[in-house]
Structure 1
């Protein structure tokens, strides 16, 4: 109790000091940081104004050029009537000369139909001449309003720029054409690179099109609506560039409109100050992202200073209090000081006696105070005579007895060494005089000298305060030999490392070549295997329509076996695409609930047929992933769960794990031994206790593991023997505001099998280089009532194609020897003078080819073809073409 009451005042004082320090630091730090942040925000706005002025001046520089060119009589005459070749060449040269003078990017003359009739880049591979620009907004604005402007990526040059346009009028005020100028703004980005800040420019859709960093260009500051996306697709403003969202979170809004923002994608290590300036013309915005860590440092410094001042005041008060206590100890301190002074005086007397003894020994030359040094040492006075030396000095130079003595001039020692050849080559007198002059100058020096016996000496000389000089000689022979050996060893190691590096590079290149060859081989093999499989499935479909009873059941078994073979080949192709990196991902934010509901409905029917229960737990979570690839992962999980669960139920649901969401599939199967849990994700690995008639090929989990690695989604498994297994995939959570609702897919028309079916009496051509596929296709189409005028290869089609036998529908393979399907279609259209609807039926798994078909309104089916899917697509194309 006594101890507690004794230390209580001190505890209160310490608490007061610490509490006051924290409070002062917080208040001062916050105030100083806010002031510094306001000053920085003001500077950032000024800098942003300078960037905006530079951008506006660059655009204004060319603002009147289209108007001047629109008044040119040559351009006016060029769009008034069709041009001859000579007139077009003369106009191209004129535009090129004008472009060289104005130093714009491109000058283009467009007629009233939107076709470029002349351009300054007429002699370039990416010339604008002949291109259709009627879909471009700057052309449409000029035709409607007289002038226009637009920023976008050039479709022929693939170079972005700002387009200005002006209409050309005739005497009655009718528009004859448009002259357009393209201004490249990449020079501004190069200027912005000199800034330590991040500078962005966005268009009216808040798409970043200018930036001083590649990671920031073509980013979305907000989600685009369907109308905006359709507008950008129609104008092809950014061509095929992928517009990724810029993910940012606002931390604080300043009084002047600035914001403190944390950038999450692309990630920045610290929060930044974001200022925005709206430009009046064009309707762009300039953004500047400034690192505001300096204001944080100012606040931290102010906090430390305020806390330090408070502590200083507290300690000052304590110091005044302690002054009284120190008065009582002054006498004792004085006595202790006198004792220390006496001890020091004794030590000084002892040191003085040692100095006198050393001076007396120096009269004999051989100094005891230098005897312990490993170097040879010699001392001369200001008259260049010997004063002192040690035994090591005599040992190194092997002087005869009596030569070295106090008072002997150092010049005589130099002469003696010169006669023994220790001063090096050249005249002896000059070498001696050079050394004497160096000693007289009193400059320090260091050098190395090698004797005839191989001994290497390091010689160091330093002047003394009274004008003398002291020189030391150290034997560094062993050090030099070791250094030479280390250099030799380092050269040998460097040579061996270079050899090993070359070997490793060659091995890596061999491995890459082998991997590319393997991927090409797998893709080619699967393509060739799918051709006869496609023909087989068509023949089986024809047989199923003609057989009854047991024979029909047998044909259904054959079709099921072919479908299983199809699944194995598709899985092999998917693995090949995943390993070669050819599979493209489309990662975006989407609601997970519709996907889970669809999977539960699809697999619920299969579960009911097996007497199992499939349950799913709904969720409101938004995740960031590739929806199609995630669906593939969950389909494999559910398929395996149903396959290996003899009775009971299967459950699919989600669990939150920090910023991640874990989707789990639980089954009540036999479980997986721990020794096999790592192997089941390898190709062609499967357990032996599944349902016999539904044993898979062992490729599903191998594809799951590769898709998870491609998307960065960890795949995990935990299993207990006799109780079941849990497969899970973890993926990042997203924000509901980032979800973009995809347009609803077009509904395929109902296939009518009656006499009024669009397929009945429909004239169809089937072009494929495989005779078996042609025969199977002919049989299948004729069973549907089609008139198959041609079922043969590309050469036969080219020989009979004319304007008198245009088919109503064309089934076309893609890979046919030297012919490529889309190229063959264009060639045939030229012979037909028509463009009938076409369906690409191919074994190629090429996303670019599929996108090309969608863009041109063609049908697309992958081999092997399912007859119901082919019939539905043919009916849909015929109805659409008829309307």
Structure 2
């Protein structure tokens, strides 16, 4: 019986070993498949999140570009020289041509031009070019008609002379009796922006509310529509006049330019304010997916090897190998964390750079006003008064440079060099930048007592002034016209507390919880970066920026270190 048992036990053991081997292989195959799917799903989610963040950064950059140009027609529509030319003083035409040419060069606009009430161009920045707009009539353009009717209008169209696409931003010019006497328009072309998109992305395009592609990294996609057009839905004659095509083709990403990429592309959308556009970003996640698959298989293989070693070796050897595997995983995790942190810093840099126009808009406006005032004083012979504007222009220019340097240092997380700063200088500098806005909004601004302005704090003059300007702007936005805003100074131990309080509607509990989160804003045209940057500046100076709850209104306090 024992002999028979032994004889039967050998094939039995082989059979059992075969079953175990088959089971192990089957489990390994299923585990490898599950690992591939899990890693692929995680990598795809990560790629989609990264693409959404990149789309937000690209949209913010485009919004910043639009904001930069939107103020030009507004300022020119109120300019005395423009009003004089529209009133029939043709002697201003030569001066205006030169001035528009200079402004177009400084701002990077394709062309800036003035049209009378009949649509005839009287002055243009390209007055001395073969394709000059002077003498051309653009009364047929939709942006001209809409601007005369509603005061302001935009239209993306193909140039009738240059045949180059661009965005036309127009504003009505009103005469002394508030009746329309003309229209000032600026054409913005996006060639540099589109070229940068083409170099850094798989594909980007921006659509209008009707789904027509306007701005794109691939010129072949322009003026296609992403949705089928029903018969009679569009005006063929108007489309031909605006886009140069009577029939807009349906956008097909499987064109020769994109067919090789389409199977791997993911699309991310982000709105572009204030034109109700949408930015579409096409991203290729194949590299991330391939890396995730390789990492997953390597990890799975390491786990199988570790399991085999643990099963065949003594406890001490198994513990040793477990420690090595853990060290390897920790090292890989550390590298991934470092890469994610670097990606986050780069994303923050793009977000802050997109908001530079918002941070320096007021100094630029002040420089423009001082320069134009000095020019008029010089024409009247008041040279001493005109010369008095130059130091202020120089100071404001230096302040702009310091602000941009501050944003660059923020991206590098570099060391700051604080010094002793009188609070009076900080407040006076902020009020200088906001003087016109305070007057326009008829703000009831309550300042600290004279004795309270004497203390000296430890910080950077421009950085503190930047934060105070941001808080005051937010307060003015909250209160609106005839609002009440106060600036208070108090002492708290080794710190001075500079507070800005308004009588606006205040903040909800949800808004208060998200105050210092990037891209969270209550403004329709805001980027949601002002408070984030301001708080980081204050903390970098050894202080803080806090919001103090109130029964009504809003109160922000700058906590500043004393010398």
Give TM-score scaled by structure 1 length.
0.32
Structure number with higher helix proportion? 2
TM-score (norm: length of structure 2): 0.48
Which of the pair has more CA radius of gyration? 1
Higher relative contact order (CA 8 A, sep 6+): 2
